[in-house]
Structure 1
Protein backbone atom coordinates (compact mmCIF):
# COMPACT_ATOMS: atom_id res chain seq x y z
CA UNK A 1 0.00 0.00 0.00
CA UNK A 2 2.81 2.43 0.82
CA UNK A 3 6.30 3.17 -0.35
CA UNK A 4 7.43 4.22 3.14
CA UNK A 5 5.71 4.10 6.51
CA UNK A 6 7.33 6.17 9.22
CA UNK A 7 6.45 5.48 12.85
CA UNK A 8 7.30 8.07 15.47
CA UNK A 9 7.75 7.25 19.17
CA UNK A 10 6.94 3.54 19.01
CA UNK A 11 5.73 1.85 22.15
CA UNK A 12 3.46 -1.16 22.25
CA UNK A 13 1.09 0.22 19.60
CA UNK A 14 3.67 1.80 17.32
CA UNK A 15 5.88 -1.28 17.45
CA UNK A 16 2.89 -3.48 16.69
CA UNK A 17 1.98 -1.29 13.69
CA UNK A 18 5.49 -1.80 12.33
CA UNK A 19 5.42 -5.56 12.88
CA UNK A 20 1.93 -5.95 11.43
CA UNK A 21 2.74 -3.81 8.39
CA UNK A 22 5.87 -5.86 7.68
CA UNK A 23 4.08 -9.19 8.21
CA UNK A 24 1.33 -8.16 5.78
CA UNK A 25 3.60 -6.56 3.20
CA UNK A 26 2.06 -3.09 3.43
CA UNK A 27 5.25 -1.07 3.02
CA UNK A 28 8.45 -1.30 1.02
CA UNK A 29 10.30 0.49 3.80
CA UNK A 30 9.57 1.09 7.50
CA UNK A 31 11.43 3.93 9.19
CA UNK A 32 11.24 4.55 12.93
CA UNK A 33 12.18 7.46 15.16
CA UNK A 34 12.44 7.04 18.92
CA UNK A 35 13.35 9.79 21.34
CA UNK A 36 16.07 7.88 23.20
CA UNK A 37 19.28 6.96 21.31
CA UNK A 38 19.51 3.57 23.03
CA UNK A 39 16.05 2.67 21.74
CA UNK A 40 17.01 3.67 18.20
CA UNK A 41 20.09 1.47 18.51
CA UNK A 42 18.02 -1.50 19.68
CA UNK A 43 15.46 -1.03 16.90
CA UNK A 44 18.12 -1.22 14.18
CA UNK A 45 18.43 -4.92 14.79
CA UNK A 46 14.74 -5.66 14.37
CA UNK A 47 13.61 -7.36 11.13
CA UNK A 48 10.54 -5.09 10.92
CA UNK A 49 12.59 -1.88 11.02
CA UNK A 50 14.48 -0.97 7.86
CA UNK A 51 16.02 2.24 9.20
CA UNK A 52 15.98 4.54 12.19
CA UNK A 53 16.12 8.32 12.07
CA UNK A 54 17.81 10.70 14.49
CA UNK A 55 15.01 13.26 14.35
CA UNK A 56 11.28 13.35 13.57
CA UNK A 57 11.95 15.57 10.57
CA UNK A 58 14.38 13.08 9.06
CA UNK A 59 12.01 10.19 9.73
CA UNK A 60 9.04 11.66 7.85
CA UNK A 61 10.74 13.33 4.89
CA UNK A 62 10.04 10.59 2.32
CA UNK A 63 7.06 8.88 3.96
CA UNK A 64 3.65 8.59 2.35
CA UNK A 65 2.15 7.32 5.65
CA UNK A 66 3.21 8.62 9.06
CA UNK A 67 1.95 7.00 12.28
CA UNK A 68 2.34 9.05 15.47
CA UNK A 69 2.46 6.88 18.60
CA UNK A 70 3.65 8.99 21.56
CA UNK A 71 1.52 9.68 24.66
CA UNK A 72 -1.64 11.60 23.81
CA UNK A 73 -0.33 14.92 25.15
CA UNK A 74 2.64 14.74 22.75
CA UNK A 75 0.76 13.95 19.53
CA UNK A 76 -0.29 17.51 18.64
CA UNK A 77 3.16 19.03 19.40
CA UNK A 78 4.84 16.29 17.37
CA UNK A 79 2.48 16.94 14.45
CA UNK A 80 3.40 20.63 14.53
CA UNK A 81 7.09 19.72 14.67
CA UNK A 82 6.99 17.63 11.50
CA UNK A 83 4.51 19.81 9.57
CA UNK A 84 7.14 21.56 7.44
CA UNK A 85 8.95 18.32 6.64
CA UNK A 86 6.23 15.94 5.48
CA UNK A 87 5.93 15.18 1.80
CA UNK A 88 3.06 16.90 -0.04
CA UNK A 89 -0.05 14.74 0.06
CA UNK A 90 1.25 12.42 2.77
CA UNK A 91 -1.13 10.76 5.20
CA UNK A 92 -0.60 11.36 8.91
CA UNK A 93 -2.47 9.37 11.54
CA UNK A 94 -2.03 8.54 15.21
CA UNK A 95 -2.98 5.89 17.77
CA UNK A 96 -4.13 8.14 20.63
CA UNK A 97 -7.20 7.33 22.71
CA UNK A 98 -8.48 10.93 22.61
CA UNK A 99 -9.36 12.51 19.31
CA UNK A 100 -11.16 15.89 19.27
CA UNK A 101 -8.29 18.22 20.14
CA UNK A 102 -5.67 16.08 18.42
CA UNK A 103 -7.69 16.00 15.19
CA UNK A 104 -8.35 19.74 15.25
CA UNK A 105 -4.72 20.70 15.85
CA UNK A 106 -3.38 18.05 13.48
CA UNK A 107 -5.61 19.21 10.65
CA UNK A 108 -4.63 22.83 11.26
CA UNK A 109 -0.91 22.06 11.34
CA UNK A 110 -0.93 20.10 8.07
CA UNK A 111 -3.65 21.97 6.17
CA UNK A 112 -2.69 22.61 2.56
CA UNK A 113 0.27 20.24 2.65
CA UNK A 114 -0.74 16.80 3.98
CA UNK A 115 -3.75 14.98 5.44
CA UNK A 116 -4.28 14.32 9.14
CA UNK A 117 -6.77 11.52 9.86
CA UNK A 118 -7.05 10.45 13.50
CA UNK A 119 -7.12 6.78 14.48
CA UNK A 120 -7.55 4.84 17.71
CA UNK A 121 -7.07 1.07 17.72
CA UNK A 122 -8.88 -0.48 20.69
CA UNK A 123 -5.99 -2.79 21.42
CA UNK A 124 -3.39 -2.72 24.11
CA UNK A 125 -2.05 -4.33 27.23
CA UNK A 126 -0.89 -3.51 30.71
CA UNK A 127 2.55 -4.39 29.31
CA UNK A 128 3.93 -1.34 27.51
CA UNK A 129 6.93 -0.75 25.28
CA UNK A 130 7.90 -1.88 21.79
CA UNK A 131 9.47 -5.01 23.30
CA UNK A 132 5.94 -6.30 23.94
CA UNK A 133 4.67 -5.50 20.44
CA UNK A 134 2.93 -8.13 18.33
CA UNK A 135 2.04 -8.34 14.63
CA UNK A 136 -1.38 -9.73 15.64
CA UNK A 137 -2.27 -7.06 18.20
CA UNK A 138 -4.92 -5.47 15.94
CA UNK A 139 -6.47 -8.66 14.56
CA UNK A 140 -10.27 -8.62 14.99
CA UNK A 141 -10.05 -5.53 17.22
CA UNK A 142 -12.05 -2.35 16.62
CA UNK A 143 -10.12 0.62 15.29
CA UNK A 144 -11.80 4.02 15.26
CA UNK A 145 -11.00 6.29 12.32
CA UNK A 146 -12.08 9.86 13.05
CA UNK A 147 -12.15 12.20 10.04
CA UNK A 148 -13.32 15.77 10.49
CA UNK A 149 -15.99 17.29 8.22
CA UNK A 150 -13.22 18.99 6.22
CA UNK A 151 -11.08 15.85 5.87
CA UNK A 152 -10.43 14.63 2.33
CA UNK A 153 -12.67 11.54 1.96
CA UNK A 154 -10.05 9.72 -0.10
CA UNK A 155 -7.45 10.25 2.64
CA UNK A 156 -9.85 8.97 5.30
CA UNK A 157 -10.60 5.88 3.23
CA UNK A 158 -6.89 5.11 2.74
CA UNK A 159 -6.29 5.29 6.47
CA UNK A 160 -9.32 3.09 7.11
CA UNK A 161 -8.10 0.58 4.54
CA UNK A 162 -4.67 0.53 6.20
CA UNK A 163 -6.19 -0.50 9.53
CA UNK A 164 -8.36 -3.10 7.83
CA UNK A 165 -5.25 -4.56 6.22
CA UNK A 166 -3.72 -4.80 9.72
CA UNK A 167 -6.70 -6.96 10.69
CA UNK A 168 -8.85 -4.36 12.45
CA UNK A 169 -12.59 -3.86 12.19
CA UNK A 170 -12.82 -0.17 11.31
CA UNK A 171 -15.50 2.10 12.73
CA UNK A 172 -15.65 5.64 11.33
CA UNK A 173 -16.98 8.33 13.68
CA UNK A 174 -16.50 12.05 14.25
CA UNK A 175 -13.74 12.99 16.75
CA UNK A 176 -16.22 14.36 19.33
CA UNK A 177 -18.37 11.23 19.12
CA UNK A 178 -15.29 9.09 19.59
CA UNK A 179 -14.33 10.92 22.77
CA UNK A 180 -17.81 10.45 24.23
CA UNK A 181 -17.77 6.73 23.44
CA UNK A 182 -14.34 5.97 24.87
CA UNK A 183 -15.01 8.10 27.96
CA UNK A 184 -17.70 5.53 28.82
CA UNK A 185 -16.25 2.24 27.58
CA UNK A 186 -12.53 2.77 28.22
CA UNK A 187 -11.71 5.77 30.39
CA UNK A 188 -14.50 5.28 32.94
CA UNK A 189 -13.54 1.61 33.54
CA UNK A 190 -9.96 2.73 34.18
CA UNK A 191 -11.13 5.30 36.72
CA UNK A 192 -13.36 2.74 38.46
CA UNK A 193 -10.65 0.07 38.63
CA UNK A 194 -8.13 2.56 39.98
CA UNK A 195 -10.56 4.02 42.49
CA UNK A 196 -11.54 0.58 43.77
CA UNK A 197 -7.88 -0.22 44.38
CA UNK A 198 -7.19 3.09 46.16
CA UNK A 199 -10.33 2.56 48.28
CA UNK A 200 -9.27 -0.93 49.34
CA UNK A 201 -5.69 0.19 49.98
CA UNK A 202 -6.99 2.87 52.34
CA UNK A 203 -9.27 0.41 54.17
CA UNK A 204 -6.90 -2.50 54.67
CA UNK A 205 -3.97 -3.10 52.28
CA UNK A 206 -3.50 -6.67 53.50
CA UNK A 207 -6.86 -7.70 52.11
CA UNK A 208 -5.23 -7.88 48.68
CA UNK A 209 -3.67 -11.19 49.78
CA UNK A 210 -7.15 -12.73 49.84
CA UNK A 211 -8.14 -11.55 46.36
CA UNK A 212 -9.94 -14.04 44.18
CA UNK A 213 -10.69 -13.98 40.49
CA UNK A 214 -13.46 -11.38 40.77
CA UNK A 215 -11.28 -8.67 42.28
CA UNK A 216 -8.36 -9.56 40.03
CA UNK A 217 -10.50 -9.35 36.87
CA UNK A 218 -12.22 -6.15 37.96
CA UNK A 219 -8.98 -4.33 38.80
CA UNK A 220 -6.60 -5.68 36.13
CA UNK A 221 -6.32 -2.34 34.32
CA UNK A 222 -5.49 -0.50 37.54
CA UNK A 223 -1.94 -1.76 36.93
CA UNK A 224 -1.65 0.46 33.82
CA UNK A 225 0.91 3.25 33.51
CA UNK A 226 -0.17 6.23 35.68
CA UNK A 227 1.66 8.80 33.54
CA UNK A 228 -0.07 7.58 30.39
CA UNK A 229 -3.47 7.71 32.08
CA UNK A 230 -2.93 11.14 33.57
CA UNK A 231 -2.39 12.47 30.04
CA UNK A 232 -5.55 10.73 28.80
CA UNK A 233 -7.63 12.05 31.70
CA UNK A 234 -6.39 15.58 31.05
CA UNK A 235 -7.12 15.35 27.33
CA UNK A 236 -10.65 13.95 27.72
CA UNK A 237 -11.53 15.63 31.02
CA UNK A 238 -14.98 16.99 30.13
CA UNK A 239 -16.34 13.75 28.64
CA UNK A 240 -14.97 11.69 31.52
CA UNK A 241 -16.57 14.00 34.07
CA UNK A 242 -19.92 13.62 32.29
CA UNK A 243 -19.54 9.84 32.34
CA UNK A 244 -18.63 9.90 36.04
CA UNK A 245 -21.67 11.97 36.94
CA UNK A 246 -23.98 9.58 35.08
CA UNK A 247 -22.32 6.59 36.74
CA UNK A 248 -22.71 8.17 40.16
CA UNK A 249 -26.46 8.41 39.50
CA UNK A 250 -26.53 4.72 38.58
CA UNK A 251 -24.55 3.77 41.69
CA UNK A 252 -26.85 5.88 43.86
CA UNK A 253 -29.86 4.03 42.43
CA UNK A 254 -28.24 0.69 43.28
CA UNK A 255 -27.41 1.90 46.79
CA UNK A 256 -30.96 3.16 47.34
CA UNK A 257 -32.48 -0.16 46.24
CA UNK A 258 -30.28 -2.05 48.69
CA UNK A 259 -30.90 0.42 51.54
CA UNK A 260 -34.68 0.25 51.01
CA UNK A 261 -34.67 -3.57 50.78
CA UNK A 262 -36.14 -3.21 47.31
CA UNK A 263 -34.86 -6.58 46.21
CA UNK A 264 -37.02 -6.67 43.08
CA UNK A 265 -35.28 -3.51 41.85
CA UNK A 266 -31.91 -4.89 42.92
CA UNK A 267 -32.54 -8.12 40.99
CA UNK A 268 -33.63 -6.14 37.92
CA UNK A 269 -30.38 -4.18 38.01
CA UNK A 270 -28.33 -7.35 38.41
CA UNK A 271 -30.18 -8.92 35.47
CA UNK A 272 -29.59 -5.87 33.25
CA UNK A 273 -25.90 -5.96 34.06
CA UNK A 274 -25.67 -9.68 33.39
CA UNK A 275 -27.44 -9.32 30.04
CA UNK A 276 -25.20 -6.47 28.93
CA UNK A 277 -22.04 -8.40 29.82
CA UNK A 278 -23.22 -11.60 28.13
CA UNK A 279 -23.75 -9.71 24.87
CA UNK A 280 -20.11 -8.64 24.55
CA UNK A 281 -18.51 -9.84 21.38
CA UNK A 282 -15.97 -12.59 22.16
CA UNK A 283 -12.34 -11.57 21.82
CA UNK A 284 -10.25 -13.46 19.29
Structure 2
Protein backbone atom coordinates (compact mmCIF):
# COMPACT_ATOMS: atom_id res chain seq x y z
CA UNK A 1 0.00 0.00 0.00
CA UNK A 2 1.15 3.53 -0.80
CA UNK A 3 1.19 5.59 2.38
CA UNK A 4 0.40 8.94 0.73
CA UNK A 5 -0.76 9.24 -2.86
CA UNK A 6 -0.86 12.73 -4.39
CA UNK A 7 -2.78 13.37 -7.62
CA UNK A 8 -2.30 16.67 -9.42
CA UNK A 9 -4.79 18.19 -11.88
CA UNK A 10 -7.21 15.26 -11.97
CA UNK A 11 -9.49 14.77 -14.93
CA UNK A 12 -11.16 11.50 -15.83
CA UNK A 13 -7.96 9.48 -15.38
CA UNK A 14 -6.74 11.25 -12.25
CA UNK A 15 -10.15 11.03 -10.62
CA UNK A 16 -10.36 7.35 -11.50
CA UNK A 17 -6.90 6.71 -10.03
CA UNK A 18 -8.06 8.22 -6.74
CA UNK A 19 -11.31 6.27 -6.69
CA UNK A 20 -9.65 3.00 -7.67
CA UNK A 21 -6.90 3.45 -5.08
CA UNK A 22 -9.48 3.98 -2.36
CA UNK A 23 -11.81 1.19 -3.48
CA UNK A 24 -8.98 -1.34 -3.83
CA UNK A 25 -6.98 -0.28 -0.78
CA UNK A 26 -3.94 0.75 -2.81
CA UNK A 27 -3.30 3.97 -0.84
CA UNK A 28 -3.71 4.82 2.81
CA UNK A 29 -4.06 8.58 2.26
CA UNK A 30 -5.03 10.45 -0.92
CA UNK A 31 -4.19 14.13 -1.43
CA UNK A 32 -5.38 16.06 -4.48
CA UNK A 33 -4.60 19.43 -6.02
CA UNK A 34 -6.62 21.08 -8.78
CA UNK A 35 -5.90 24.40 -10.45
CA UNK A 36 -9.32 26.01 -9.98
CA UNK A 37 -10.54 26.87 -6.45
CA UNK A 38 -14.10 25.76 -7.15
CA UNK A 39 -12.84 22.34 -8.23
CA UNK A 40 -10.80 22.03 -5.04
CA UNK A 41 -13.92 22.79 -3.00
CA UNK A 42 -15.88 20.11 -4.84
CA UNK A 43 -13.08 17.54 -4.46
CA UNK A 44 -12.89 18.15 -0.72
CA UNK A 45 -16.40 16.70 -0.42
CA UNK A 46 -15.53 13.41 -2.11
CA UNK A 47 -15.22 10.31 0.09
CA UNK A 48 -12.17 9.10 -1.81
CA UNK A 49 -10.20 12.29 -1.11
CA UNK A 50 -8.56 12.71 2.31
CA UNK A 51 -7.14 16.19 1.72
CA UNK A 52 -7.12 18.92 -0.90
CA UNK A 53 -4.03 21.11 -1.18
CA UNK A 54 -4.06 24.74 -2.25
CA UNK A 55 -0.83 24.35 -4.21
CA UNK A 56 0.90 21.49 -6.00
CA UNK A 57 3.95 22.01 -3.80
CA UNK A 58 1.88 21.39 -0.67
CA UNK A 59 0.19 18.37 -2.22
CA UNK A 60 3.45 16.50 -2.87
CA UNK A 61 5.31 17.42 0.32
CA UNK A 62 4.76 14.08 2.09
CA UNK A 63 3.77 11.90 -0.87
CA UNK A 64 5.33 8.53 -1.61
CA UNK A 65 3.73 8.43 -5.06
CA UNK A 66 2.73 11.46 -7.14
CA UNK A 67 0.51 11.05 -10.21
CA UNK A 68 0.41 13.93 -12.70
CA UNK A 69 -2.87 13.96 -14.64
CA UNK A 70 -3.10 17.25 -16.60
CA UNK A 71 -3.09 17.48 -20.42
CA UNK A 72 0.23 16.27 -21.84
CA UNK A 73 1.35 19.80 -22.73
CA UNK A 74 1.20 20.86 -19.06
CA UNK A 75 3.07 17.94 -17.51
CA UNK A 76 6.56 19.42 -17.99
CA UNK A 77 5.74 22.66 -16.18
CA UNK A 78 4.25 20.78 -13.24
CA UNK A 79 7.34 18.57 -12.99
CA UNK A 80 9.56 21.66 -12.81
CA UNK A 81 7.32 23.30 -10.24
CA UNK A 82 7.17 20.41 -7.78
CA UNK A 83 10.62 18.86 -8.28
CA UNK A 84 12.34 20.74 -5.41
CA UNK A 85 9.52 19.84 -3.02
CA UNK A 86 9.46 16.06 -3.48
CA UNK A 87 10.59 13.74 -0.72
CA UNK A 88 13.71 11.70 -1.38
CA UNK A 89 11.63 8.52 -1.30
CA UNK A 90 9.00 9.82 -3.73
CA UNK A 91 8.21 8.34 -7.14
CA UNK A 92 6.74 10.74 -9.69
CA UNK A 93 4.67 9.40 -12.58
CA UNK A 94 2.08 10.67 -15.05
CA UNK A 95 -0.82 9.34 -17.12
CA UNK A 96 0.03 11.06 -20.41
CA UNK A 97 -0.49 9.21 -23.69
CA UNK A 98 2.90 10.28 -25.10
CA UNK A 99 6.02 9.30 -23.22
CA UNK A 100 9.44 9.92 -24.81
CA UNK A 101 9.80 13.68 -24.27
CA UNK A 102 7.93 13.64 -20.95
CA UNK A 103 10.15 10.88 -19.55
CA UNK A 104 13.36 12.52 -20.71
CA UNK A 105 12.31 15.85 -19.23
CA UNK A 106 11.06 14.30 -15.98
CA UNK A 107 14.19 12.25 -15.43
CA UNK A 108 16.51 15.17 -16.19
CA UNK A 109 14.57 17.62 -14.03
CA UNK A 110 14.49 15.35 -10.98
CA UNK A 111 18.18 14.54 -11.38
CA UNK A 112 18.98 18.26 -11.42
CA UNK A 113 16.85 18.88 -8.33
CA UNK A 114 19.02 16.40 -6.38
CA UNK A 115 16.16 15.50 -4.04
CA UNK A 116 16.51 11.78 -4.64
CA UNK A 117 13.02 11.45 -6.13
CA UNK A 118 12.52 9.29 -9.23
CA UNK A 119 10.46 9.86 -12.40
CA UNK A 120 8.93 6.85 -14.14
CA UNK A 121 6.27 7.41 -16.79
CA UNK A 122 2.92 5.61 -16.99
CA UNK A 123 0.13 5.43 -19.56
CA UNK A 124 -3.06 3.57 -18.68
CA UNK A 125 -4.90 2.67 -21.88
CA UNK A 126 -8.26 3.64 -20.47
CA UNK A 127 -10.75 6.42 -20.98
CA UNK A 128 -14.34 7.18 -21.81
CA UNK A 129 -16.64 9.38 -23.83
CA UNK A 130 -17.17 11.70 -20.86
CA UNK A 131 -14.26 13.69 -19.44
CA UNK A 132 -13.61 15.30 -16.04
CA UNK A 133 -13.03 13.90 -12.58
CA UNK A 134 -16.80 13.84 -11.99
CA UNK A 135 -16.98 10.91 -14.43
CA UNK A 136 -14.23 8.95 -12.71
CA UNK A 137 -14.73 5.22 -12.32
CA UNK A 138 -12.97 3.00 -9.75
CA UNK A 139 -13.11 0.14 -12.27
CA UNK A 140 -11.77 2.16 -15.21
CA UNK A 141 -8.42 0.34 -15.18
CA UNK A 142 -9.72 -3.18 -14.57
CA UNK A 143 -8.40 -5.48 -17.26
CA UNK A 144 -6.87 -2.58 -19.21
CA UNK A 145 -3.26 -2.32 -20.32
CA UNK A 146 -1.09 0.18 -18.49
CA UNK A 147 2.31 1.00 -19.94
CA UNK A 148 5.08 1.76 -17.46
CA UNK A 149 7.96 3.49 -19.24
CA UNK A 150 11.22 3.82 -17.30
CA UNK A 151 13.85 6.08 -18.84
CA UNK A 152 17.40 4.69 -18.65
CA UNK A 153 17.75 2.50 -15.52
CA UNK A 154 15.61 3.66 -12.59
CA UNK A 155 15.74 2.22 -9.10
CA UNK A 156 14.41 -1.34 -9.45
CA UNK A 157 12.53 -1.22 -6.14
CA UNK A 158 10.67 1.92 -7.18
CA UNK A 159 9.91 0.50 -10.63
CA UNK A 160 8.55 -2.68 -9.01
CA UNK A 161 6.44 -0.63 -6.60
CA UNK A 162 4.93 1.42 -9.45
CA UNK A 163 4.12 -1.72 -11.43
CA UNK A 164 2.49 -3.18 -8.32
CA UNK A 165 0.43 -0.01 -7.83
CA UNK A 166 -1.09 -0.21 -11.31
CA UNK A 167 -1.73 -3.92 -10.88
CA UNK A 168 -3.47 -3.17 -7.60
CA UNK A 169 -5.77 -0.84 -9.56
CA UNK A 170 -6.64 -3.77 -11.85
CA UNK A 171 -4.35 -3.01 -14.81
CA UNK A 172 -2.34 -5.45 -16.88
CA UNK A 173 1.08 -3.79 -16.85
CA UNK A 174 3.51 -3.74 -19.78
CA UNK A 175 6.98 -2.24 -19.22
CA UNK A 176 8.63 -0.70 -22.29
CA UNK A 177 11.06 2.09 -23.10
CA UNK A 178 9.43 5.52 -23.70
CA UNK A 179 10.41 5.64 -27.40
CA UNK A 180 9.01 2.17 -27.99
CA UNK A 181 5.80 3.17 -26.24
CA UNK A 182 5.34 6.13 -28.58
CA UNK A 183 5.86 3.94 -31.65
CA UNK A 184 3.33 1.39 -30.37
CA UNK A 185 0.58 3.85 -29.47
CA UNK A 186 1.09 5.79 -32.71
CA UNK A 187 -0.09 2.64 -34.48
CA UNK A 188 -2.67 1.16 -32.09
CA UNK A 189 -4.23 4.38 -30.77
CA UNK A 190 -3.25 7.53 -32.65
CA UNK A 191 -3.51 6.13 -36.19
CA UNK A 192 -7.05 4.77 -35.57
CA UNK A 193 -8.07 8.22 -34.32
CA UNK A 194 -6.74 9.91 -37.46
CA UNK A 195 -8.41 7.32 -39.71
CA UNK A 196 -11.77 7.62 -37.91
CA UNK A 197 -11.58 11.42 -38.06
CA UNK A 198 -10.67 11.37 -41.76
CA UNK A 199 -13.54 9.01 -42.54
CA UNK A 200 -15.88 11.34 -40.68
CA UNK A 201 -14.61 14.27 -42.73
CA UNK A 202 -15.13 12.39 -46.01
CA UNK A 203 -18.67 11.37 -45.08
CA UNK A 204 -19.38 14.82 -43.68
CA UNK A 205 -19.08 16.21 -47.19
CA UNK A 206 -21.88 13.94 -48.41
CA UNK A 207 -25.65 14.49 -48.00
CA UNK A 208 -26.57 14.60 -44.30
CA UNK A 209 -29.23 11.92 -44.56
CA UNK A 210 -26.69 9.30 -45.66
CA UNK A 211 -25.48 8.86 -42.07
CA UNK A 212 -29.02 7.96 -40.96
CA UNK A 213 -29.04 5.08 -43.43
CA UNK A 214 -25.89 3.44 -42.02
CA UNK A 215 -25.71 0.33 -39.87
CA UNK A 216 -23.61 -0.37 -36.79
CA UNK A 217 -20.46 -0.89 -38.85
CA UNK A 218 -20.13 2.83 -39.55
CA UNK A 219 -20.88 3.72 -35.93
CA UNK A 220 -18.26 1.25 -34.68
CA UNK A 221 -15.65 2.45 -37.17
CA UNK A 222 -16.12 6.16 -36.45
CA UNK A 223 -16.88 6.06 -32.70
CA UNK A 224 -13.59 7.63 -31.67
CA UNK A 225 -14.03 10.48 -34.16
CA UNK A 226 -16.21 12.00 -31.42
CA UNK A 227 -13.15 12.43 -29.16
CA UNK A 228 -12.14 15.83 -27.80
CA UNK A 229 -10.26 17.87 -30.43
CA UNK A 230 -8.20 19.85 -27.91
CA UNK A 231 -6.85 16.69 -26.31
CA UNK A 232 -5.93 15.25 -29.70
CA UNK A 233 -4.14 18.38 -30.88
CA UNK A 234 -1.89 18.01 -27.82
CA UNK A 235 -1.23 14.34 -28.61
CA UNK A 236 -0.58 15.01 -32.31
CA UNK A 237 1.95 17.70 -31.38
CA UNK A 238 3.73 15.51 -28.84
CA UNK A 239 3.94 12.35 -30.98
CA UNK A 240 4.12 13.94 -34.42
CA UNK A 241 7.05 11.96 -35.86
CA UNK A 242 5.76 8.52 -34.91
CA UNK A 243 2.25 9.35 -36.13
CA UNK A 244 3.66 10.51 -39.46
CA UNK A 245 5.45 7.18 -39.85
CA UNK A 246 2.26 5.30 -39.02
CA UNK A 247 0.31 7.40 -41.52
CA UNK A 248 2.88 6.64 -44.22
CA UNK A 249 2.39 2.91 -43.65
CA UNK A 250 -1.38 3.39 -43.84
CA UNK A 251 -1.06 5.43 -47.05
CA UNK A 252 1.05 2.65 -48.60
CA UNK A 253 -1.61 0.06 -47.77
CA UNK A 254 -4.39 2.24 -49.20
CA UNK A 255 -2.32 2.85 -52.32
CA UNK A 256 -1.85 -0.90 -52.90
CA UNK A 257 -5.51 -1.58 -52.18
CA UNK A 258 -6.56 1.12 -54.66
CA UNK A 259 -4.15 -0.18 -57.31
CA UNK A 260 -5.43 -3.73 -56.92
CA UNK A 261 -9.03 -2.54 -57.25
CA UNK A 262 -8.21 -0.38 -60.29
CA UNK A 263 -6.44 -3.33 -61.96
CA UNK A 264 -9.21 -5.79 -61.07
CA UNK A 265 -6.66 -7.87 -59.19
CA UNK A 266 -9.20 -9.83 -57.19
CA UNK A 267 -6.57 -12.29 -55.95
CA UNK A 268 -4.56 -9.50 -54.30
CA UNK A 269 -7.71 -7.89 -52.90
CA UNK A 270 -8.85 -11.20 -51.43
CA UNK A 271 -5.44 -11.68 -49.81
CA UNK A 272 -5.62 -8.20 -48.26
CA UNK A 273 -9.16 -8.75 -47.01
CA UNK A 274 -8.19 -12.10 -45.52
CA UNK A 275 -5.11 -10.63 -43.80
CA UNK A 276 -7.22 -7.88 -42.32
CA UNK A 277 -9.80 -10.40 -41.11
CA UNK A 278 -7.11 -12.61 -39.58
CA UNK A 279 -5.71 -9.66 -37.65
CA UNK A 280 -9.15 -8.57 -36.43
CA UNK A 281 -10.03 -12.11 -35.37
CA UNK A 282 -6.83 -12.20 -33.28
CA UNK A 283 -7.94 -9.28 -31.11
CA UNK A 284 -8.88 -10.48 -27.65
- 1:103 aligns with 103
Shift in Å at residue 276 of structure 1?
A: 0.6
Give distance in 2, aligned partners of 1:97 and 1:37.
Answer: 27
The SS at the match of 1:219 is helix
Give distance in 1, aligned partners of 2:150 and 2:2.
Answer: 20
Write the mapping of 1:1-284 to structure 2, written as runs, cut at 5 A.
Answer: 1-111=1-111, 112-113=114-115, 114-281=117-284
TM-score scaled by length of structure 1: 0.97
Shift in Å at residue 32 of structure 1?
A: 0.7
Cα deviation code 1:216-248 (max 9, x no counterpart): 101111111100000000000000000000110
Greater shift, 230-239 or 264-273, is seen at 264-273
Give distance in 1, aligned partners of 2:232 and 2:55.
Answer: 26
TM-score scaled by length of structure 2: 0.97
Unaligned runs of 5+ in 2: none
Shift in Å at residue 36 of structure 1?
A: 1.3
After superposition, the CA RMSD in angstroms is 1.0
Unaligned runs of 5+ in 1: none
Shift in Å at residue 211 of structure 1?
A: 2.8
Greater shift, 84-93 or 226-235, is seen at 84-93
Cα deviation code 1:35-70 (max 9, x no counterpart): 111111111111101111111111111111000001
Q: How many residue pairs get matched?
A: 281
Give distance in 2, aligned partners of 1:177 and 1:199.
Answer: 32
Greater shift, 47-56 or 182-191, is seen at 47-56
Segments of 4+ in structure 1 off by > 6 A? none
Give distance in 2, aligned partners of 1:105 and 1:203.
Answer: 45
